[in-house]
Amino acid sequence: MRTVRGGPADLNIQIRGLESDEPGFEDWFRGTVRTSTWSPAVTVEISMTDNIETAAYRKHIAGHTDYPAVSWDSKSRHLEFQLPTHMGLASCWSLRLAQRHALLAGLVAASQDSDWRCFHAAMSVLSDRRSLVVIGPSGAGKSTLVRRLGADARGDEIVAIRHTNGAVSARGTAVPGELRCEDFSEQPLAAFILPDHGPSQKVCVTRLSPAQSLEHLLAASIRFSSEAILSDWDWLEGLIHNIPVLRVSWNLIGELPLPAILAELNTSQR
């Protein structure tokens, strides 16, 4: 067994069956984050099993919900879940994939019954330190839009959103995607962005209704099971009245999207 302590939510990760002699393994898994006080420590224990096919496992993970054979004890904050044996015995890539989802599982567990949630999203911090969180399914163009914003990128895989007493903040996590987060500090959240590749070179920004916003945010939030959607619903209802969700239709060869986004935010604040 190998134990890695640290990272978002002060995770205490116990990895059973996924030992690795790869140099720098613990540094990679821990990321560069400082210990967080967002929640008490979470223990994640992973075991290997022959009962789950790799394809079925990837199908579960692709939706960021319903982890295979997951067991979560909220009192002890102890999480157990199983991975296919193939994942631990195959290539370095598949080993890292398993480690990545161990960290993701720990983050989701840490968010249970708390004032924050994990989202499948990308994050960018503007020059005034406000943040934009870009949501949408895989392939929607989240990473492309974050790069195009030309601001401080904070990762493009998992973003944590905190909502406390009307104040909403965002922070990147150590779960790696195309863009890695190097600064894990919280930043005030200005808006959620829903990218849309349009034919026009002119940027069009539309503010979604509360019902539309709730639909897209529920799809982007990460949970272990469908039953958790009820608590997510209540949490998001308070969020959408404070933070706008903007649909941004733009084209790679057209206008830069940031000026239009800022103009819409300034209009909504008046």
Q: Where are the chain's structural domains?
A: 2-111, 116-268
Determine which helix (DSSP H) or strand (DSSP E) holds 148, and give its type and residue range.
helix 142-149
Residue 178's pLDDT band (cuts 50, 70, 90): confident
Q: Which amino acid is at 123?
A: M
pLDDT for 28 = 45
Strands of 11-15's sheet, edge to edge? 2-6, 11-15, 43-49, 78-84, 71-73
pLDDT for 260 = 95
For the chain, percent of residues with pLDDT exceeding 70: 63
pLDDT digit string (tens) for 85-132? Answer: 555 444 444 555 566 667 777 777 777 777 888 898 999 999 899 999
pLDDT for 16 = 56
pTM above 0.85, yes or no: no
Question: How far is CA 37 from each of CA 7, 156, 172, rounded to the nearest angstrom?
Answer: 11, 23, 15
When the pLDDT of each residue in the chain is averaged and rounded to a whole number, the result is: 75
Q: Is the pLDDT of residue 62 over 60?
A: no
pLDDT mean over 137-151: 86
For the chain, percent of residues with pLDDT exceeding 90: 25
Alpha carbon distance 137, 121 (integer Å): 9
Overall CATH class of domain 116-268: alpha beta
Contacts of 136 (CB under 8 A, 6+ apart): 121, 142, 194, 195, 216, 220
pLDDT for 24 = 46
